[in-house]
Structure 1
Amino acid sequence: MLPFSVLGQQQRLPLGQFSRDSIQLGELVEYTLVYRHPAAEEVVLPAEKYNFSPFELVRKSFHPTVTMGGISTDSAIYTLRTFETNAAQQLSLPVFILREQDTVHVFAATREVHVKQLVSNLAEPLQVKAITDLALVEERFNWPVVLLWVIASITFLTLVWLIFGQSIRRKYKLYRLRKDHLYYASRFNSHKDRFEKSGAPVSIEKAVTLWKNYLTKMERKAINSFTTKEIVEFYDNDEEVNTALRICDKAIYGNLQSESEGETNLALSMLRRFAKARYKTHRELISNARTR
């Protein structure tokens, strides 16, 4: 009975087998590992981190444990490939048996697969030709990167415009309004000063024309084509505009400025003051606007 007792105590070995006897370099081959053991025994099969040398693991698939009559069967299929040139490649995979604080490695019998040799005759020695000259490579424009930057820029600008567009438009209008007013005021004062020094009616005419053109742009109405009466009516019969324009008309067309230069200077000052008041009104309208 002693030999049978020793035989029962011997460790069962896993079974490993290749799906084919021969393969080519880089060709996929399956290796099946099967281990039958008592159901109470904890067993782990090799995973991805295991060293399958001389093979490389491509993928693996485990089958659920099957238990019948107190005996469990664990199995896995490993898809492998090799790039080694040896004519015969061998592999023996283990199973890991967990026993309390110890782990037992039990290896399957070594299996062998043959690698087909595609090159039969090799000339010796090999003739190698060295080319050390740099090859000119045509420079290519990186359109995908440029397109990506364009799309990103357009998206960014669109978001900025949607969020800050109203504020940007308002500030730009205020900037243009102030710039136009400073330009007008500088030229108008120049014509007024020239009239005070020379008394020439042409200076009055240029000052009034500049005033009308400035209001035309600011009001977006053809004020420079209006008559004096139409301008007064447009500004709701403003007394100051009416008085100033009539004095200027009399000085320009009646050549009476020499008799009342002080009155004409006062009229020009009135026009300048009115234009400044209209500038302030438009500035407040733009600043307080929320939707235009």
Structure 2
Amino acid sequence: MPRGYIIILLCSLQAGAWGQQIPRPEGSFNRDTARLGELLQYTLVHHHPATQEVVLPPESYNFAPFELVRKDFFPTATKAGISTDSAIYTLRSFEIEPVQQLALPVYILSNQDTTEVFATADAVVLHQLVKEVQEPLQVKADTELATVEERFNWPELVLWLVASATFLSLVWLIFGQAIQRKYKLYRLRKDHVYFASRYNSHEERFKKTGAMQSLEKAVSLWKNYLTKLERSAINSFTTKEIVEYYENDEEVNTALRICDKAIYGNVQTETEGETNLALGMLRRFAKSRHKTQRELIKNAKSK
């Protein structure tokens, strides 16, 4: 065979071999040094024929000695029959080796076979903050306490307020009427004790001195007490209106007319002590009305 044909054949075989060779991907870090736990980016780029199906490492890939934080991939770009796949892996490392390397592969899919092609390994140098460690370690025994700002627990306060309001609402719903009734009876008893004390004082003073001023104060106090007790403007009524209000009660009619005669006519009546008896009748009537109101309040529950 002529020598020229041999040379042409060898060149053809060499060109075919180059055509079948799979190009390696390109992988590199964005910087040469990194600190422990610091984020750094590794860029992986692969150029291949457009007819070739290529897969880049997924997030489940073992990136040791690094840990994957995030993966950002880009759509395949094709130009003049050449496709480009690329991705950026955000990594970090907690290993303490001074030099740490990484070479990521790409996976070429063809028929029923998968070919793994690695990029050239790229390395980063760990920037060590602690150059030397003294053994044994020196422990700092005396430390200053940091002042922590006291914060009011608003959620707990709101929770207590809601719980308290709910509890009080239930108590009022169950025992509200009883509480109101007890309070009214308490106020009724207190008002009567106060009236009886002052009325008896004016009555005794009138019996001893016969002063018209004491009699006027006793009658006025009696009218004011019944005004509050009956919730009616009895202190503004005339004697006739008061008698009519109490349905012509004999004791009220007699007592008020005797007192009016003594106050406005300056006469204590012909019979001695009649005015004193009139004051006694007014006191008994006030006590009777107090008992009536007390029974009405007690019986309000059944109504």
TM range (shorter): 0.5 to 0.7
1:255-283 Cα deviation digits (max 9, x unpaired): 11275441001100100011011000000
Please tell me whether residue 125 in structure 1 is matched to residue 132 in structure 2.
Answer: yes
Percent identity, aligned pairs only, is 66
1:247 deviates by: 0.1
* Counterpart residue number, 1:209: 220
1:253 deviates by: 0.9
1:132 deviates by: 2.2
**Distance across 1 between alignment mates of 2:221 and 2:162:** 46
* Counterpart residue number, 1:229: 240
* Counterpart residue number, 1:110: none
Contact map agreement 1:199 1:257 (CA 8 A) in 2:
no
* Counterpart residue number, 1:62: none
* Counterpart residue number, 1:283: 294
1:250 deviates by: 0.5
Most deviating of 277-286 and 19-28: 19-28
**Distance across 2 between alignment mates of 1:26 and 1:143:** 41
Please tell me whether residue 141 in structure 1 is matched to residue 152 in structure 2.
Answer: yes
**Counterparts of 1:42-53 in structure 2 under 5 Å?**
none
Match of 2:62 among 21, 29, 35: 21
TM-score (norm 1): 0.59
Q: 1:134 and 1:206, CA in 2 relative to 1: closer, same or farther beyond 3 A?
A: same
* Counterpart residue number, 1:250: 261
**Distance across 2 between alignment mates of 1:291 and 1:26:** 80
1:290 deviates by: 2.2
Q: Select the structure of larger CA radius of gyration.
A: 2
Contact map agreement 1:191 1:206 (CA 8 A) in 2:
yes
Please tell me whether residue 153 in structure 1 is matched to residue 164 in structure 2.
Answer: yes
**Distance across 2 between alignment mates of 1:260 and 1:117:** 128
* Counterpart residue number, 2:211: 200
Contact map agreement 1:177 1:283 (CA 8 A) in 2:
yes
Structure 1: 5+ residue runs without aligned partners? 1-17, 29-82, 88-115
**Counterparts of 1:35-46 in structure 2 under 5 Å?**
none
Q: 1:85 and 1:244, CA in 2 relative to 1: closer, same or farther beyond 3 A?
A: same
Give the number of aligned pairs. Answer: 194
Look up the SS of the partner of 1:236 in the other structure.
coil
**Distance across 2 between alignment mates of 1:162 and 1:25:** 67
**Counterparts of 1:48-197 in structure 2 under 5 Å?**
119-125=126-132, 132-197=143-208
**Distance across 2 between alignment mates of 1:242 and 1:154:** 53
1:85-123 Cα deviation digits (max 9, x unpaired): 588xxxxxxxxxxxxxxxxxxxxxxxxxxxx99945343
Q: Which amino acid aligns with 1:21?
A: N
Most deviating of 139-148 and 280-289: 139-148
* Counterpart residue number, 2:83: none
Contact map agreement 1:247 1:267 (CA 8 A) in 2:
yes
1:30-88 Cα deviation digits (max 9, x unpaired): xxxxxxxxxxxxxxxxxxxxxxxxxxxxxxxxxxxxxxxxxxxxxxxxxxxxx99588x
1:139-165 Cα deviation digits (max 9, x unpaired): 211111111111111111111000000
Contact map agreement 1:199 1:258 (CA 8 A) in 2:
no
